[in-house]
Structure 1
Amino acid sequence: MPISGSEIVKMLPGRKPCKECGFPTCFAFAMKLASGGTTVDKCPYLSEEVKARLVDLLAPPIKLVTIGAGENAVKVGNEEVIYRHEKTFVHSPGIALLISDREDDAKIEEKIKKIQELQFPWVSVNLKADLLAPYYGSGNKNRFLALVKKIYDSTNLGMVLISEDMDALFAARDICADRHPLLYPITKENVDEAILKIKANLTPVGLRGDSIEELVPLTTKLKDSGIEELVLNPGSKNLLEAIR
């Protein structure tokens, strides 16, 4: 659960109300901070240690991940609650269209065209695919890179780059890095090889494991390396496991 204003006020310096934060009392500042209406740096007397702790405590339990750039950026996460019934979710999941480099050129052209045209109105919401997901399945690195370049040149959409081959994955990333693509899959087998390459040009990362437990050390390793935008695939094989 989010930290409350009464808990935050205990962490403040305890001076007489200086009002330098723009609020009449420390408690008013703490309440506004708890609701997301202000930021910790407004208090000039917080130690760096307390400031860092508050930033961590106030961070949403589901971090914001941005895939794509500009008006076509897809934002997921940044939710204040883990379960919808606790409050609500504010960001819809992105919808991506998979395009394999094993498909013929005509089929690829058709998919790229359709994703930019198809829209479905639903209860005052306009549903459409937000992303393209080029998949490296041909074994031909050059064909995969040509597919990524074609998508990059033909659309303004963000991408989910899918390749088990790390060389192909990061070569594709370099083609469209300014679109902030999601790189997938990073696993326990390739994470050590991937970390330095990810840090060379930070973009979101998709982690894949066989269970939630397997993802814990993976996320820890990446976060300790300064890689924060993570999307998790726990490899759930059935609905019960997914809910767990």
Structure 2
Amino acid sequence: MKKINPSLFLIIGISALILVSGCSDRKKSLTENTMNIPVFINPALTMVAYMVDASVVDNLEDELSIPWSMTVAVKQISGKKTREVGNCSSILAAQNDNFEPVEPSHHTPYLNALMQCRAITIAVDMAPSNISYLTGSLDKRAIGALPVAMAFIPSKSQQSSIKANGLLKSINDVTPIIGFTQVNDYEIELKINGGSQTMLVLAKGDTNGDQIEDLLMQVINATEGGTYSATRLFVLSRKEKDGSWSLLSEY
């Protein structure tokens, strides 16, 4: 395998994300779902652009182990061990063992790939659900009501202040939305003071066994001018009609 070209890695990562146009349901396996609400997986949730041979992919779970066309050298954060990662399974294992890229220029594309791989592991573990309260589109009102943890706060001092204030519950409480663009049913672009957020629905299904449909969302935060960007994942749910959002997990 050849060593990664950082600019190529970043371009491939971005191209994988923009596949959302023209979304359609994608089965995570060839088995038919027999429950009321099948798992939905966004076609943008894929690593095929990284792979040596994407023709061998039968389902989403296969993408965790299929080799990429490049490798990334990583080192232990507190230690001298090094290794190389070259597929989703190895990058997730490296993260669990506290490894990071050797080259600083690899950090952002590496973390983007890591988040995409982690999202795949969440999606393939989803089960069909019997009931859903995720009704309606992700309009400006629904997005503004998302948990405060999903807000993009560039200032670290402001982040600390918000965490200490238990009264701040939603995005609207801390970062009023200046601009709102619904790209399609699964992608939202927000303009906020000092930056922007791109929110993408990656999958829907039951993640915790309560038979209620949950929502896996990817959020890409970026400051004005492009000096900083970061990708995060959130698993959300609603437990009753028109109820508030519950944050089940975040990465």
Name the structure with the higher helix share. Answer: 1
* TM over 0.5, shorter chain: no
- Give me the TM-score of the superposition, normalised by structure 2: 0.28
Higher normalized contact order (CA 8 Å, seq sep 6+, divided by chain length) = 2
- Give me the TM-score of the superposition, normalised by structure 1: 0.29
**Bigger Cα Rg:** 1
